[in-house]
Amino acid sequence: MENNPFEEPIIVADTRVLRPWEYKLFKRAIPKNEYRTVFDALLFSGMRYKEFQKFQENATWFSENEQKIYLPKIAVRKKKIKRKQRWIRLSDYGTQQVSSFMNSSTKCPGRRTWLENLNRWAEKAGIGNDGVNIKMTRKTLECWLLEFFGNDNQNIIQILLSQGHTERTAINHYMSLPFSKQDRDEMTFMMEGWI
């Protein structure tokens, strides 16, 4: 008997992509409210961890009214990066999460501590820690955006610009994943307002 691919973990290039129900379990497993705030802001901004750490020191990069974050050249540190700066779009829910983070006094832990936390919370949530790593939140958001809005080329371009990726990267790593109709329905309130 085969496993149902719509219930199996989604792992792309050794990184877990959370389904909405896994996200909910994961978030409930985070014991401290301040770390739930960091987790949500990371996931719904889609920033790399280093970018996020730099962002927390620069509140003026966030415009709640515009539902955007501006990342200048000093924040975008990846060596092979194509775009040296970018504007990150946020959904209505994402804007709320980033605003909560910016209004808190919570500081991001170091990468190693955050990774240890993610693995511990995944185990506690009962979803296992296969593919759980620092890139998980960023990949999850991009996959959700492409699943939800990827039926229009203009939307795809906006997603790629916001995430700082090329079309080739998106095709190779983020598109056509086995999300179910229920997954897609559960994404709705978290994706509204992004476009």
User: What type of residue is 1?
Assistant: M
Q: How many domains does the chain have?
A: 1
In-domain check, residue 109: yes
Residue 118: which of 54, 26, 23, 56 has the closest Cα?
Answer: 26
pTM recorded for the entire structure: 0.90
pLDDT digits (tens, 9 = 90+) for 135-144: 999 999 999 9
Average pLDDT for residues 70-91, to the nearest whole number? 78
pLDDT tens, 162-189? Answer: 888 666 665 655 667 888 999 999 999 9
Q: Determine, yes or no, domain membership for 166.
A: no
The pair of structure tokens assigned to 155 is 């939307």
List the domain range (segments joined by +) for residue 109.
10-137
Q: What is the DSSP letter of 105?
A: -
* 171 inside domain: no
28: number of Cβ within 10 Å: 12
159 part of a folded domain: no
pLDDT at 1: 43
Give the number of other CB atoms < 10 A from CB of residue 19: 26
Residue 34 lies in a domain: yes
Q: Flag whether 84 is in a domain.
A: yes
